[in-house]
Chain A
Amino acid sequence: MDANELRRLISLELDGEISPEDEAVLMDEVSRDPALAEEYRAWHALRRGFRSFEKPSPPAGLADRIARRVLEGPPAAGKRMLFRSLPAFRMAAGFLLILSIGGVIGWYLGQGDVAAGPRDGDQGEARIERSIQELLHLDGKQLREWTRIGQETQRELDALGGGNLAERREELQDLMLARRLHLLDETQRRTLMNHMGLSREEMDRLLRLSRGR
């Protein structure tokens, strides 16, 4: 039996698909041939490596968002980016504590500084930038203000220290969203609201928050 055929038997043995006769042949060869024994150990090590993988978990709320979107109807071209980008770039931004819907959206919008340009190696942010531009059709003045609020919030986030970090981050992120919402006209707000699944009440709460600042 040639080496390739013996490797094929190792593969079958790994999967419990080998016949008793072939298994006996394989084990006999393995016991006599050190190179094959090494091969055998390597294939089993590979299996152990695979089995040590943790199953990837979907981001929190993904099922709900998908169900809502599917039941609403097929996605428009521009919707996909916003939808998918929300949880995926948390880590890239370094915001590890994502709490409320407002916090999440606030963070998300915070990464969409349309004038800031993508960071090295983070194509996702560039995609978000384009998505926001396409989605909201920000004019030049809105764009500048949007960017300024994002940068200002980022500085405040960077300067955070002491206790209750998660809560204060969330507050800042909510506030950033609130201030940015304030820049938008009613049509833009409705667009954003629909895309992000924000309720009217949540939107109103955020607008009240922006007026209080």
Chain B
Amino acid sequence: MSGLSEDEILARAGSGDKEAFATLVERYTPRVFAIARNVLGSAVDAEDVTQDVFFKVYRKLGSFEKRAAFSTWLYRVTINASTDFIKKRRQEKAASMEDMGRLPLEDPDASPETHLGRKDLRRQIRSAMAELPEKFRTILVLRELEELSYGEIAEILQVSKGTVESRIFRARARLRERLERALKED
């Protein structure tokens, strides 16, 4: 299966080949998990969302039209699933606002860090990100962490490039404000 192209794997998986689907899951789980983890701020929730994403992919793969790249479509499904997850959590009040702020402080930088300043900056960025509205956090994850272009982000979020540009700018400005405030409080 590893010798097959992505198109061939997609075609096989779409027609019900379980091995092909498992290969897709294997190949894309790291990316889906990373996005969900960064948007949600919690590894536990990211696991749930990753699972949901692949349930959706499995159901919809047969009808997947190649108007967009599979990876773009998968990003979109992941962002939507993460957003739905946040909304659901809010509705259920299973996660209070306090939780939503606290969870991203899970520190994935577990390795010894000699450059304390940089680690502090990362921590502060994570903390400030957690306080941003979800749409700002999402767009910063796509741009800053996934390093996607404006065009790719526009396609994933199904908005214009102008909206992407403006939203990224506002998200950064908001993030910087929060960081400045945090630094003053420190």
Q: Which residues of A contact B (CB under 8 A)?
A: 7-8, 11-12, 15, 17, 42-43, 45-47, 49-59, 62-64, 66-67, 69-71, 74-75, 80, 83-85, 87-89, 123-124
Encode B42-72 as 1/0 by CB contact (under 8 A) with A.
0110111011001100100000000000000
Query: A50 contacts B144, CB within 8 Å?
Result: yes
| Interchain CB contact under 8 A, A46 and B172 | yes
Known: A7-B173, A43-B172. A84 touches B145 (CB 8 A): no
A11-B168, A12-B165 as given contacts; A88 in contact with B43, CB under 8 Å: yes
Cα distance, A200 to B150, chains bound together (Å): 51
A50 to B122, CA, bound (A): 7
Chain B interface: which size bin? 35 or more
Q: Please determine whether B144 and A54 come into contact, CB atoms closer than 8 angstroms.
A: no
Q: Which of A12, A17, A56, A71 contacts B46 (CB 8 A)?
A: A56
The stretch of B3-11, B20-28, B73-81 that contacts the partner chain: B20-28
Chain B residues 150 to 186 lying within 8 A of chain A, measured CB to CB, are 150, 165, 168-169, 172-173, 175-176, 179
Q: Which residues of B contact A (CB under 8 A)?
A: 18, 21-22, 25-26, 29-30, 33-34, 37-38, 43-44, 46-48, 50-51, 54-55, 58, 99, 108-109, 111, 118, 121-122, 125, 140, 143-145, 150, 165, 168-169, 172-173, 175-176, 179
- Closest beta carbon of chain A to B50's beta carbon, Å: 6
A54 touches which of B33, B99, B109, B175 (Cβ 8 Å): B109
Chain A residues within 8 Å of B51, by CB: 66, 69-70, 75, 80, 83-84
A71 touches B18 (CB 8 A): yes
A85 to B43, CA, bound (A): 10
Complex CA gap A64/B58 in Å reads: 15
28 contacts between A and B (CB under 8 A): A11-B169, A46-B176, A46-B179, A47-B144, A49-B122, A49-B125, A50-B140, A50-B144, A51-B144, A53-B145, A54-B108, A54-B111, A55-B145, A59-B47, A62-B29, A62-B47, A63-B25, A64-B22, A64-B26, A67-B21, A67-B22, A67-B25, A71-B21, A75-B51, A80-B51, A83-B51, A84-B44, A84-B48
The 5 A-B residue pairs with the shortest CB-CB distance, nearest first, are: A50-B144, A58-B33, A63-B29, A88-B44, A67-B22
How many angstroms between the C-alpha atoms of A7 and B118 in the bound complex? 24
Q: What CA separation (Å) do A83 and B25 show in the bound complex?
A: 16
Note all chain A residues with C-beta closer than 8 A to B29: 58, 62-63, 66
Cα distance, A69 to B22, chains bound together (Å)? 10
**Cβ of A50 to closest chain B Cβ, rounded Å:** 4
Q: Which of B38, B55, B108, B172 has the most CB of A within 10 A?
A: B172
> In the bound complex, do residue B37 and residue A85 qualify as a contact, i.e. CB atoms below 8 Å apart?
no
Given A7-B169, A7-B173, A15-B143, decide whether A66 and B25 contact each other with a Cβ distance below 8 A: yes
Chain B residues whose C-beta falls within 8 Å of the C-beta of A66 in the assembled complex: 25, 29, 50-51, 54
B55 touches A74 (CB 8 A): yes
CB neighbours (8 Å) of A12 from chain B are 165, 169
Kindly report which residue of chain A lies nearest to residue B150, judged by CB atoms: A17
Q: Which residues of A contact B169 (CB under 8 A)?
A: 7-8, 11-12
Choose one: B26, B38, B121, B122; the contact of A63 (CB below 8 Å).
Answer: B26
Contacts of A8 in B (CB 8 A): 169
* B44 touching A85, Cβ below 8 Å: yes
Question: When chains A and B are docked, how far (Å) is the Cα of A73 from the Cα of B38?
Answer: 28
